């Protein structure tokens, strides 16, 4: 199923019924925006997917509870600069207070407020700063606030990530943050999706799961699944547009895919975007395992940083992931050029290939010759700056 | 069981009955030594463990067949600069020819010669150069040749890796190479262990497996299991010393441990050696999964390069590996200092801790509070030079 539509502006505030605002309350030493509120005119059907890491940060636990209560949310408050993870009981109290303060400042119920945090693990939130930021943001809520909100949730991101899509009768908007500690599994770093379509909680949850599995769960920057991952969707229903489940899935997937792609494009230190496609696998699970094995290989990622078509490292990663793979049935293509097949190197015009690899976007296709299943995942290269960013991002 | 003994010199030629020699035959553009032969005076009981990667390089397949024939070997020929992997039928012919040429030059049976290769994947061996190297090395075999042999098997290694241990009545020697594509699983990059103890094949194989599981299989540089990994042991029996299985296991483990440690110390671009110990796990398998998860985390490795006690990244990795871990029962120590416990940060004298972290060797202890099992694994940090080495090591 496909349906028409076009991109539009406004990010999470593009759909009718949503306002946002941000504040710089001092959680980031840089003085940049570090807190935002996204609020709806009325209560929204809501759904979320969360990190599969055993250690759920306090805001992840709280938001899960608030959605579980009745399937509705009306606002989400997000801070960057501090993940509020591994902060014990005090961390849970702080997350609850963030919801309370936001509810108080906007006239909502505390249980209709979701909370999300991103930043350093293991440090208590400075609640005076947070409280001031919430007051300030709540007073400034505006339908044009989507851009500021997208900036406020950034950590090592180098650009804000937002998208919006307009269909006949309804819109879907989204924003995300993430550049490192990115190997989503059930969810990703923070992403927020809004729509003014009329959807109840169960259908929204089902469509969100569909979209997340096919977008955020297919990217990796460094193989590390964060403690704070959260993708949150809210549907205001204001457009009155009622969608079939397939339309809804497709609409959410477009937004999630675009956001997931921008996270990889902004991967820490990344100079290249790499699409890894595994074809002819025995199952989707096998295709994903092998694709992720290639996408997470430090050797593959550094080779691609160097512009080197080092397919030996690609087959090494495939052979590590699929213990009974057969080289004789395999084929490897880099940027459309076959570089190895039937267990040996192919004759390649290296000059042409290196030219094809000079771009910022690289395609890597591996054909396993084992079946019909396929999977595409996205990753980026490893550069000096990946090391620099992560050696200098001090606790 | 422990027993006495002391380190000695000579590497793989320390035990009686072994000679070695190396040649520079032009496989390495640098002109360094790139081929060696290790030969025994008489046929030796032999055993080996090989890579778990699906794609066995040609020499891995050939050597496995030669040992399987009757459990004996008399020599091993090794080249660096070319892995002879993903080279199809021609690669198998080339590996067989290496064994033939070595057998011819030394007066042995072809099936008593093991072959090992390390270097770039997917390129055919230049057999004229190899043949010249084999002739040259065979003509120079000497009981003092262990050091040259250890140098000839290096690729991105920055120093040769050899060790020898002397007991009352027998000796054990070894050499290894490896710095990148290191995450052994059943075996590691190339390592060769010799002894003059009297041991038959089955007992040697059992003791080697014991030693490899506790040494090479507990290290990781970059999480990548090579196509060419091989640990080969040969026992000449010339000392006449007959060992119990426990003594033999212990003797092999000492040599394998030392070699495994030097591989990590020489990890590509490494500035620090990191011992990751998982305590109080529910099982050894769980302890190893979590320890390897921490040891392979790009975020942990870059933090330690920066001298940053970023334990948030350590717990992130543990929580990713053990999906039902409980922060409230956990404790994390860096260089002996407790930095987090019961789900929160501990009060830490940061100045003292940063001083402790300034050294080249770092200890990381994680207590899970789930059981009695423990596991120690070794890794190194990720530095700018890791990226440099792997972006510039062109195919």
Best mutation target, A119, A385, A390, to test chain B (most B CBs within 10 A): A390
**Cβ separation of A122 and B311 shorter than 8 Å?**
yes
**Cβ separation of B308 and A395 shorter than 8 Å?**
yes
CA distance A315 to B88: 14
**Cβ separation of A316 and B122 shorter than 8 Å?**
no
> A16: distance to nearest CA of chain B, Å?
38
CB contact A347 to B (< 8 Å): no
| Portion 174-233 of B in contact with A at CB < 8 A | 180-181, 185, 222-227
- For residue B322, give the nearest of A54, A320, A391 by CB distance: A54
| Portion 91-130 of B in contact with A at CB < 8 A | 91, 120-123
Which residues share a beta bridge with B279? B367
In the numeric block, the tokens 């038959």 are attached to B200
pLDDT in tens, A166-207: 888 889 999 888 877 766 554 346 778 888 888 888 888 888
Phi, psi dihedral angles at B306 (to 5 degrees): -80, 0
pLDDT on residue B189: 63
- For residue A54, give the nearest of B180, B297, B319 by CB distance: B319
Q: Which two tokens stand for residue A23?
A: 């504040």
Per CB-CB distance under 8 Å, the chain A contacts of B227 are 315-316, 319
CB contact B305 to A (< 8 Å): yes
CA distance A281 to A372: 6
Please report which confidence band the pLDDT of residue A394 belongs to, taking 50, 70 and 90 as the band edges.
low
Low-confidence ranges of chain B (pLDDT < 70): 1-3, 181-189, 393-395
Q: For residue B304, what is the nearest residue in chain A, using CA coordinates?
A: A391
Q: Which pairing describes strands B273-281 and B361-367: parallel, antiparallel, or unpaired?
A: parallel
pLDDT on residue A275: 94
**List of residues 6+ apart from B194 with CB closer than 8 A:** B12, B13, B14, B15, B18, B38, B40, B44, B172, B173, B174, B233, B234, B235, B236
CA distance B255 to B262: 11
Q: Which residues of A are catalytic?
A: 188
Q: Are A190 and A79 in contact (CB under 8 A)?
A: no
Q: How far is CA A207 from CA A114, A204, A219, in A?
A: 19, 5, 19
Q: For residue A340, what is the nearest residue in chain B, using CA coordinates?
A: B122
Q: For residue A307, what is the nearest residue in chain B, using CA coordinates?
A: B391
Which residues share a beta bridge with B75? B39, B113
Q: Which two tokens stand for residue A135?
A: 């007051």
Q: For residue B299, what is the nearest residue in chain A, using CA coordinates?
A: A390
Q: Are B109 and B103 in contact (CB under 8 A)?
A: yes
| DSSP one-letter code for A272 | -
pLDDT in tens, A257-275: 888 888 888 888 889 999 9
CB contact B319 to A (< 8 Å): yes
Q: Helix, strand, coil % (nearest 5) of chain B? A: 35, 25, 35
**Cβ separation of B390 and A342 shorter than 8 Å?**
no
Q: Which two tokens stand for residue A138?
A: 């709540």
Q: Helix, strand, coil % (nearest 5) of chain A? A: 35, 25, 35
> A69: distance to nearest CA of chain B, Å?
24
Q: Are A249 and A339 in contact (CB under 8 A)?
A: no
Residue scoring higher pLDDT (A104 or A344):
A104
Phi, psi dihedral angles at A355 (to 5 degrees): -65, -45
Q: Which pairing describes strands A35-50 and B273-281: parallel, antiparallel, or unpaired?
A: unpaired
CA distance A117 to A131: 14
Q: What angle do CA B327, B330, B334 make, to 5 degrees?
A: 120
pLDDT on residue B391: 82
Helices then strands, each counted (H, E), chain B: 11, 15
Q: How far is CA A126 from CA A99, A123, B324, in A?
A: 15, 9, 29
Which residues share a beta bridge with A277? A365, A376
Per CB-CB distance under 8 Å, the chain A contacts of B120 are 312
CA distance B336 to B293: 20
Per CB-CB distance under 8 Å, the chain A contacts of B91 are 344
> A158: distance to nearest CA of chain B, Å?
18
Which residues share a beta bridge with B367? B279, B331
Q: For residue B185, what is the nearest residue in chain A, using CA coordinates?
A: A320
**List of residues 6+ apart from A195 with CB closer than 8 A:** A15, A170, A171, A172, A173, A233, A234, A235, A236, A251, A252
In the numeric block, the tokens 């809501």 are attached to A46
pLDDT on residue A179: 74
DSSP string across A142-176 = BTT-HHHHHHHT-SS-SS-EEEEEE-SS-EEEEEE
Other Cβ atoms within 10 Å of A149 Cβ, number: 28
CA distance A265 to A361: 9
CA distance B122 to A130: 57
Q: Which residues of B are catalytic?
A: 188
- If you compute the radius of gyration of chain A from its CA atoms, what whole number of angstroms results? 22
| Portion 27-66 of B in contact with A at CB < 8 A | 52-55
Q: How far is CA B202 from CA B74, B116, B125, B209, B214, in A?
A: 17, 22, 33, 11, 19
Q: Which two tokens stand for residue B260?
A: 């495994």
- If you compute the radius of gyration of chain B from its CA atoms, what whole number of angstroms results? 22
A34-48, A118-132, B213-227, range with the lowest pLDDT: B213-227
Q: Are A81 and A30 in contact (CB under 8 A)?
A: no
> A249: distance to nearest CA of chain B, Å?
28
Residue scoring higher pLDDT (A333 or B220):
A333
CB contact A343 to B (< 8 Å): yes
CB contact B306 to A (< 8 Å): yes
**Cβ separation of A387 and B383 shorter than 8 Å?**
yes
Give the H/E segment covering residue A192.
strand A190-195
Q: For the CA atoms of A181, A183, A187, A191, what is the dihedral angle to 10 degrees?
A: 50
**Cβ separation of A310 and B394 shorter than 8 Å?**
yes
Strands in chain B per DSSP E: 6-7, 18-23, 35-50, 72-80, 113-118, 161-167, 170-176, 190-195, 230-235, 273-281, 331-334, 337-341, 344-345, 361-367, 373-380
Per CB-CB distance under 8 Å, the chain A contacts of B180 are 299
Other Cβ atoms within 10 Å of B390 Cβ, number: 26
CA distance A277 to A289: 11
**Cβ separation of B298 and A297 shorter than 8 Å?**
no
> B55: distance to nearest CA of chain A, Å?
6
CB contact A81 to B (< 8 Å): no
Q: Which two tokens stand for residue B159?
A: 């120093």
In the numeric block, the tokens 């200890």 are attached to B363
**List of residues 6+ apart from B296 with CB closer than 8 A:** A223, B183, B220, B222, B223, B379
Q: Which two tokens stand for residue A362?
A: 């690289």
Q: For residue A180, what is the nearest residue in chain B, using CA coordinates?
A: B299
Q: Which pairing describes strands A35-50 and A18-23: parallel, antiparallel, or unpaired?
A: antiparallel
- For residue B86, give the nearest of A87, A312, A386 by CB distance: A312
**Cβ separation of A320 and B344 shorter than 8 Å?**
no
Per CB-CB distance under 8 Å, the chain B contacts of A117 are none
Q: For residue A315, what is the nearest residue in chain B, using CA coordinates?
A: B55
DSSP string across A103-120 = HHHHT--GGGEEEEEEEE
- How much of chain A, in percent, has pLDDT values that exceed 90? 50
Give the H/E segment covering residue A201.
helix A201-213
CB contact A4 to B (< 8 Å): no
- For residue A226, give the nearest of B311, B316, B345 by CB distance: B316
- pTM for this model (two decimals): 0.81
Q: SS3 of A268, please?
A: coil
| Model ipTM value | 0.78
CA distance B328 to B154: 46
pLDDT in tens, A204-224: 888 888 888 887 777 777 777
Other Cβ atoms within 10 Å of B195 Cβ, number: 37
């Amino acid at each position: 199923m496909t349906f028409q539509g076009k991109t539009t502006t406004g990010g999470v505030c593009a759909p009718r019924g949503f306002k946002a605002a941000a504040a710089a309350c001092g959680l980031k030493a840089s003085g940049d925006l570090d807190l935002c509120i996204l609020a709806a005119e009325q209560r929204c059907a809501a759904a979320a997917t969360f990190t599969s890491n055993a250690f759920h940060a306090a805001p992840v636990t709280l938001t899960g509870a608030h959605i579980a209560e009745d399937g509705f949310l009306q606002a989400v408050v997000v801070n960057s600069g501090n993940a509020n993870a591994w902060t014990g009981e005090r961390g849970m109290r702080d997350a609850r207070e963030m919801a309370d303060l936001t509810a108080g400042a906007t006239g909502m119920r505390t249980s209709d407020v979701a909370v999300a945090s991103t930043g350093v693990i293991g440090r208590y939130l400075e609640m005076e700063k947070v409280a001031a930021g919430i007051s300030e943001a709540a007073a400034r809520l505006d339908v044009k606030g989507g851009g500021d909100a997208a900036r406020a949730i950034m950590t090592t991101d180098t650009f804000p990530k937002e998208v919006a899509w307009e269909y006949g009768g309804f819109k879907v908007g989204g924003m995300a943050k993430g550049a490192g500690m990115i190997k989503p599994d059930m969810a990703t770093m923070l992403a927020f999706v809004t729509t003014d379509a009329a959807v109840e909680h169960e259908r929204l949850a089902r469509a969100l799961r569909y979209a997340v599995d096919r977008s955020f769960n297919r990217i990796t920057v460094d193989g590390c699944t964060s403690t704070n991952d959260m993708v949150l969707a809210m549907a205001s229903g204001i457009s009155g547009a009622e969608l079939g489940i397939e339309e809804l899935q497709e609409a959410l997937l477009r937004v999630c895919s675009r956001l997931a792609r921008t996270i990889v494009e902004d991967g820490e230190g990344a100079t290249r975007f790499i699409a890894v496609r595994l074809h002819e696998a025995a199952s989707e699970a096998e295709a994903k395992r092998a694709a992720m094995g290639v996408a997470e290989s430090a050797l593959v990622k550094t080779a691609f940083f160097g512009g080197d078509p080092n397919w030996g490292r690609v087959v090494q990663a495939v052979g590590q992931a699929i213990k009974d793979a057969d080289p004789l049935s395999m084929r490897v293509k880099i940027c459309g050029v076959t570089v190895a097949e039937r267990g040996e190197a192919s004759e390649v015009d290296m000059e042409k290939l290196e030219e094809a690899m000079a771009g910022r976007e690289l395609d890597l296709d591996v054909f396993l010759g084992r079946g019909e299943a396929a999977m595409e995942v996205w990753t980026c290269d490893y550069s000096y700056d990946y090391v620099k960013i992560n050696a200098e991002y001090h606790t």
